[in-house]
């Protein structure tokens, strides 16, 4: 991958990188307020002249954006970065960060694209979720080499996102919903074992399963997560 970032407007970024408005893309959102830093996977939706972020109100990302309304939308396809920023310790993700150019929040050092933004308005909110409309101050992206498609990458990302909700459902006593997600994770785990055995993808699935097993599962969930170690 070329080391230098190309710099331009949001429109330049969208045109060059074939971004489609209204599609949810997955980024790593980096934020900072009063010396407190965060990095977390987050969906981002592009509009013609801005971006929308939809954090759950229970997230640290939401709390930091409310306190200091700026951040960076970082794009990476490194599944380990997704894992670390979802379930890793703060010290692990801090090592991945670097200062940004135009906002006082850090960005992800190995991102292939970054959108530095400020929050323009809170456009919608309910009990669970807020929707922030953000203006991009600076878009930076690298010219990328070809990267063949593997189903494993998507299976791992889907498993991570389902695991974040599974944890929430368990904590909220929503067992049927938790079981549904557990079945999906089990399905993706089997897929990763088939298409990417003994790789970075399968080792993340091993870590994820161990983590889920530590969440005090009971009843049918216990059976679902009696995965054997690889």
Per CB under 6 A, residues contacting ligand FMN are 26, 38, 40-43, 54-56, 59-61, 82, 86, 157, 160-161, 164
Q: What is the DSSP letter of 216?
A: -
Pick left, alpha or beta for residue 173 (phi over 0 → left; psi -120 to 50 → alpha; otherwise beta). Answer: left
Smallest gap from residue 211 Cβ to ligand FMN (A): 12
Smallest gap from residue 54 Cβ to ligand FMN (A): 5
Nearer CB in complex with ligand FMN: 6/200: 200
Nearer CB in complex with ligand FMN: 36/226: 36
Strand-pairing partners, residue 56, are 129
Helix (H, G, I), strand (E, B) or coil at 51: strand
Smallest gap from residue 44 Cβ to ligand FMN (A): 8
Nearer CB in complex with ligand FMN: 60/151: 60
Nearer CB in complex with ligand FMN: 44/139: 44
Residue 135 burial (C-beta neighbours within 10 Å; 0-12, 13-18, 19+): middle
Nearer CB in complex with ligand FMN: 40/196: 40
Smallest gap from residue 150 Cβ to ligand FMN (A): 16
Listed as own residue / partner, the contacts of 118-126 with beta carbons closer than 8 Å and 24 or more positions apart are 118/69, 118/70, 119/65, 119/69, 119/70, 119/71, 120/50, 123/52, 125/57
Smallest gap from residue 144 Cβ to ligand FMN (A): 20
CA count, 13 A, side-chain hemisphere, 202: 14
Give the tokens for residue 66.
């409310």
């Amino acid at each position: 991958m070329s080391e230098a970032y190309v710099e331009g407007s949001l429109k330049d970024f969208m045109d060059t990188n074939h971004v489609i408005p209204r599609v949810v893309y997955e980024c790593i959102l980096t934020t900072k307020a009063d010396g407190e830093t965060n990095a977390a996977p987050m969906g981002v939706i592009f509009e013609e002249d801005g971006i929308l972020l939809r954090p759950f109100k229970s997230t640290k990302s939401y709390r930091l954006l409310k306190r200091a309304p700026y951040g960076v939308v970082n794009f990476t396809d490194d599944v380990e970065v997704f894992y670390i920023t979802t379930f890793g310790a703060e010290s692990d993700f801090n090592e991945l960060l670097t200062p940004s150019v135009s906002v006082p929040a850090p960005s992800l050092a190995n991102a292939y694209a970054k959108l530095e933004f400020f929050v323009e308005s809170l456009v919608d909110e309910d009990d669970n979720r807020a929707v922030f409309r953000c203006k991009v101050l600076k878009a930076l992206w690298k010219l990328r080499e070809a990267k063949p498609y593997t189903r494993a990458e998507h299976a791992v990302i889907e498993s991570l996102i389902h695991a974040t909700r599974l944890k929430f459902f368990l904590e909220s006593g929503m067992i049927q919903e938790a079981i549904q997600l557990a079945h999906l994770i089990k399905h993706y785990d089997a897929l990763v074992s088939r298409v990417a055995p003994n790789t970075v993808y399968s080792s993340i699935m091993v870590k994820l399963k161990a983590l889920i097993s530590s969440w005090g599962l009971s009843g049918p969930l216990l059976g679902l997560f009696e995965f054997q170690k690889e």
